[in-house]
Amino acid sequence: MGTIRSLESEVQSFEERATRLEADIKDAQKRAAELETKVGAPFEKEERYHHLVKRQSEIEDQLDLAKNQAPVQAESTADDETVEKNSEKQRQTDSTRSVRRTAIRM
């Protein structure tokens, strides 16, 4: 008896699913028709796009001029940062050592 009820329920859900799928197909066809009208249409902001592409290439050209100088400046900055970090680590180590000595002497 339970098996028969399960089968009947499945058959009824097939009909509901088929109805939903048909509605989804109609919606998809409607959206496809709307999108087809947009295919091949001119891009509204095409002029602005071309202007920005030109500006980007100008900026890239300017950056390439300074490209040869950048590694030298980057290396000196990196060296300065490394020295500063090492100094800071040394100060922290020294202060930790003095605290430990104080704690041991007590």
Q: State the pLDDT at residue 24.
A: 97
The pTM assigned to this predicted structure is 0.37
Measured between alpha carbons, how far is 2 from 5 in angstroms, rounded to an integer?
A: 5
Q: For the chain, give the mean pLDDT.
A: 77
Q: Where are the alpha helices (DSSP H) in the chain?
A: 2-38, 46-65, 70-105
Query: Residue ranges per domain, the chain?
Result: 1-46, 60-106
- 99 confidence band (pLDDT: 50, 70, 90): very low
pLDDT digits (tens, 9 = 90+) for 35-78: 998 888 888 899 999 999 999 999 988 888 666 665 555 555 55
The more confidently predicted of residues 23 and 12 is: 23
Measured CA angle at 61 (ends 58, 51), to 5 deg:
15
Q: What is the dihedral of CA 53, 57, 58, 59, to 10 degrees?
A: 100
Q: What would the mean pLDDT of 23-40 be, rounded to a whole number? A: 93
Alpha-carbon distance values, 44 to 6, 34, 39, 70 (Å)? 56, 17, 13, 39
Q: What is the dihedral of CA 89, 91, 97, 99, to 10 degrees?
A: -120
Measured between alpha carbons, how far is 30 from 34 in angstroms, rounded to an integer?
A: 6
